[in-house]
Structure 1
Amino acid sequence: MFKVFSKCTLAALVVTSSCVSAEQTRKLDSSIWQLQWSDEFTYADSELDKNWISQNGPTENPWVLSSRWRDNAQVKDGVLHLIAKKESRGGQEWTTGNVWSKRSFHYGYFEARFKYAGAYGTNNSFWFWPKQGVKGDLKACEIDVNEGHFPNIINTNVHNWTDTYTLPNGRVAHSDKQLHHTLIGKPDHTLVFKKPIKSKKIRLTSNNPASIHISEFRVFPPSASYPNAFDVEQVNSANNLAQVDNVTIKTNGLFNKLMSEESFAIDGNPQTRWVSKKHGEKFLQLSWDEPQEIGAVQFINGWLQEHGVDKGAYRNLISDYSIEYHDGNNWQKITSYNAADVADFSKDFHTYGIEWDKDYFNFYFDGELYYTMRNDVCFSETTMLFSLAILKAAIAGPVSDDIDGTSMAIDWVRYYTRKENSEH
């Protein structure tokens, strides 16, 4: 039916033409699944309201900066555009669009083909929420197939909004299972400087929308060659200035939901990692008592999935960074990286799918399975939503005028159910 992500599609899709795209190879097994409902958006804009309801007014969610209006949901040339505009309306400084289905859905396979809005700060969502309410003792469940963040971050989540609890600080919380997925890219970066620099301070900075995970950050003096990031023997034989006695480390802080320490980034153990605070600019800075001659920086980021269908894949790969050194007066940039140069989900359409039944959720990217989790809470019928939001606190990256005029573009959405005699 579907394919599990191979090493080719995870790591090499963007660097070699020998890998055939999943969009070309994917085939839905018609002996198991039958199409029940779809919207291809091949009609006039005025007909959108036959299948969908649009928000018209301010957004109550305190993390969302945009009010949402029917004007911002436009069908054109077979595509539904949810448009972001910098305009004051409804008491908020931005406007965007969102729609939810008039009909309800239950178990099956759901898939939508869309592009992200091409700017940081945007939340491009394909999700489910029971706007019609739930019956009896069933839970109010939110299923996020993807809350996508530019340029290529996929966010999955399942919320139980019924069973809330109060934290010691008085904040009311609920159960959720949020994960940030970066399926294209690599965890190791070795940055060899064109000319060695001499400095007491060097740092990595990033506007990554989520926490950054650094398992090892290494600094090397000039050399004819540098170690493979994952070759223990090579690394141990190299002179790593991040592990000398007089080095000090400073960061923007720690993510409080994971076991983490700043020192884990330079402890020589790839099994531990520093996990930054989730919001705002992230940085990791090393300082020495005396200037050091530096020829290269190397780091390993993200976290390694050790179980399930995605065993061996890395999660939470960094979206952007700069490497800088201090010249005694100011910070000077040596090099920078932008994951949009590797994979930009606002430039090309991709499909995001979920297979949902009473036992499991299976998440798919371009028709290939990349993540599975148990279903412990979502058993009621629900409505389908597409929404574009602008998020505060750099949750999806910094908010800037680059957002103005961008859109989440949905090509189609389809819903399949299993045939009665198919294996489950």
Structure 2
Amino acid sequence: MLRISHLLVPASLCLFPAAFSGPPEHGKWALVFVDDFTGTETDLDAKWEAQNGPSGHILCSRWRENAVLKDGLLRLEARKETRAEQDWTAASLWTRETFTYGYFECRYRYAAATGTNNSFWIMTRGRPKQRFEIDINEGHFPNEVNMNLHNWSGKHWARGGRWYYGPPPPAPNQNDAGFEFVLDGPLVTNRIRLVSIDAGPVRVMELRAFPPSNQGYPSVFPSRLEAQPDVPNLALGAAAEASSSLETKYAAHKAIDGLLGTESRWLSARTNGPHHLTVTFPKPQTLGCLQFISGWEEKGTWNGIVDDFRLEYWDGAGWLPIPGADGKTLQAAKPAVAPTHNLGKEFHTYALEWNKDELIYFFDGNKIRRTPNDICHGPAPVWLSLAIIKWAGRVTDAIHGTSMDVDYVRVWQNKDE
């Protein structure tokens, strides 16, 4: 389990991006690796290796040709194209040289779209006795910095910290987890379903269907203090089936039992979509409104809310979309808000001091996190990677053509260590 701590950004760090930071004053530091990406493709290949193939745990395959040298930058480009049975491509490189301890610094800007994971990191390759991963930054647009430590020897464990350049986004609440679609006109069908192409598990706590009503519909999250219209939930007398279930206790019927709670919900398998939850009525019903609740609540924040979804109905011959009842329509209706702090527009430096005792993280030369070094005591290469992932925000066509742009990578080692 990854333990995340949140850090607030001092106002002094929000002013101007540093062009160059360098190692701390303590110690005798020697520059042992530098790439300013001003050379040729041959120069790049002499220092870096590249992934060429699919990536099972993310939404993109990654290829050397997506790493492009242009205008003194290394551009890791995201493209919407199908290769190796994945819908997106990007790039991931690692140094041919390995390092043990030192000060590692990279100046870059994020791909300017949600759903991108812009990473500067260190990880062992092969099968050394101690396998580890240090995420100096897994950056998520527009202003999120993630610093993680993973143990890959034996049973996996991880701990991490999340830090924001500027204000963090508002935490998801009930309004984000509850969905209601009042239909434009009556719809007669004996089957409806929710379809999602999100990476699993997709979570549905409750799915409801109501007949047309002149008195309105019950609240998605009913309150004891609020009078509710007497409109029957037709899903309570229906049957449910799903494309998959994570466990028996999260079977499809749990999503239509009328109960709210983490133990009464449907979870799909932990696989890529499409996933579907189908509700079949005993006889054709006339529908006027559909509701569902997704995710789970923890300390007032809702997590795991479905993102890319649509509701469909059976017309006797095939499945048809219910107009307006989909995630893309909801997102398009929201007003666009320009980020006040945009790491996809600005270059900043991300750095790590890795010594035998500690891992110390820096943003533009300012210390933002430190954690004990329990396991990282062997050689490992430096990585630069762009990935497309669900947990970095909504994945949309806006990703196509964006890039993680790297100005330089530098490594110093302390002669005193």
> TM-score normalized by structure 1?
0.61
CA, structure 1 residues 143+205, in 2 after alignment: closer, same or farther (shift >3 Å)? farther
Q: Supply the AA of the counterpart residue of 2:384.
A: F
- Match status 1:254 vs 2:249: no
- Match status 1:55 vs 2:36: no
**Counterpart in the other structure of 1:142:** 133
TM-superposition CA deviations, 1:325-364 (whole Å, max 9, x none): 112222121132138646899x982899899997999999
CA, structure 1 residues 242+61, in 2 after alignment: closer, same or farther (shift >3 Å)? same
Kindly report which structure 2 residues correspond to 1:384-403, keeping only aligned pairs within 5 A, or say none: 384-388=382-386
CA, structure 1 residues 360+183, in 2 after alignment: closer, same or farther (shift >3 Å)? farther
- Match status 1:115 vs 2:120: no
TM-superposition CA deviations, 1:246-293 (whole Å, max 9, x none): x0011111125x952323222333222321112230111111111122
Residues 111 and 405, structure 2, Cα contact 8 Å, conserved in 1: yes
TM-superposition CA deviations, 1:361-412 (whole Å, max 9, x none): 9999xx9x9xx99979544365442224689xx9999x99x89974542356
* Helix, strand or coil at the partner of 1:36: coil
Q: Following the alignment from structure 1 to structure 2, what is the Cα–Cα distance between the partners of residues 125 and 156?
A: 10
* Helix, strand or coil at the partner of 1:290: strand
Q: Supply the AA of the counterpart residue of 2:385.
A: S
Kindly report which structure 2 residues correspond to 1:5-24, keeping only aligned pairs within 5 A, or say none: none
Alignment partner of 2:316 out of 328, 332, 341: 328
Residues 236 and 256, structure 2, Cα contact 8 Å, conserved in 1: no
Q: Following the alignment from structure 1 to structure 2, what is the Cα–Cα distance between the partners of residues 409 and 56?
A: 15
- Match status 1:73 vs 2:63: no
- Match status 1:279 vs 2:272: yes
* Helix, strand or coil at the partner of 2:255: helix
**Counterpart in the other structure of 2:259:** 269
- Match status 1:214 vs 2:204: yes
Q: Following the alignment from structure 1 to structure 2, what is the Cα–Cα distance between the partners of residues 377 and 355?
A: 16
CA, structure 1 residues 348+411, in 2 after alignment: closer, same or farther (shift >3 Å)? same
Structure 1 residue 203: Cα displacement: 0.9
* Helix, strand or coil at the partner of 1:244: helix
**Counterpart in the other structure of 1:36:** 22
Alignment partner of 1:27 out of 2, 6, 13: 13
Alignment partner of 1:409 out of 393, 404, 409: 404
Structure 1 residue 152: Cα displacement: 12
> TM-score normalized by structure 2?
0.61
| Structure 1 unaligned spans of 5+ | 7-21, 164-173, 307-311, 417-424
TM-superposition CA deviations, 1:100-139 (whole Å, max 9, x none): 3557456999996411678x9x8765443035997xx7x3
Q: Following the alignment from structure 1 to structure 2, what is the Cα–Cα distance between the partners of residues 403 and 40?
A: 32
| Structure 2 unaligned spans of 5+ | 24-30, 163-167, 412-417
Q: Following the alignment from structure 1 to structure 2, what is the Cα–Cα distance between the partners of residues 260 and 376?
A: 38
CA, structure 1 residues 60+265, in 2 after alignment: closer, same or farther (shift >3 Å)? closer
CA, structure 1 residues 82+194, in 2 after alignment: closer, same or farther (shift >3 Å)? same
TM-superposition CA deviations, 1:151-170 (whole Å, max 9, x none): 9999997543221xxxxxxx
Residues 206 and 293, structure 2, Cα contact 8 Å, conserved in 1: yes
* Larger deviation, residues 194-203 vs 43-52: 43-52
Alignment partner of 1:83 out of 72, 77, 84: 77
**Counterpart in the other structure of 2:236:** 244
Q: Supply the AA of the counterpart residue of 1:54.
A: W
Structure 1 residue 52: Cα displacement: 9.3
- Match status 1:160 vs 2:154: no
**Counterpart in the other structure of 2:156:** 175
Q: Following the alignment from structure 1 to structure 2, what is the Cα–Cα distance between the partners of residues 354 and 42?
A: 16
* Helix, strand or coil at the partner of 1:210: coil
CA, structure 1 residues 197+302, in 2 after alignment: closer, same or farther (shift >3 Å)? same
* Larger deviation, residues 123-132 vs 204-213: 123-132
Q: Following the alignment from structure 1 to structure 2, what is the Cα–Cα distance between the partners of residues 379 and 252?
A: 42
**Counterpart in the other structure of 2:94:** 100
**Counterpart in the other structure of 1:349:** 344
**Counterpart in the other structure of 1:420:** none
TM-superposition CA deviations, 1:36-93 (whole Å, max 9, x none): 3699997635499689943246459666884632x4322435653223576989xx99
* Larger deviation, residues 191-200 vs 58-67: 58-67
CA, structure 1 residues 415+40, in 2 after alignment: closer, same or farther (shift >3 Å)? closer
**Counterpart in the other structure of 2:26:** none
Q: Following the alignment from structure 2 to structure 1, what is the Cα–Cα distance between the partners of residues 227 and 353?
A: 44
CA, structure 1 residues 412+157, in 2 after alignment: closer, same or farther (shift >3 Å)? same
CA, structure 1 residues 76+288, in 2 after alignment: closer, same or farther (shift >3 Å)? same
Q: Following the alignment from structure 1 to structure 2, what is the Cα–Cα distance between the partners of residues 209 and 242?
A: 29
Structure 1 residue 302: Cα displacement: 1.9
* Helix, strand or coil at the partner of 2:68: strand
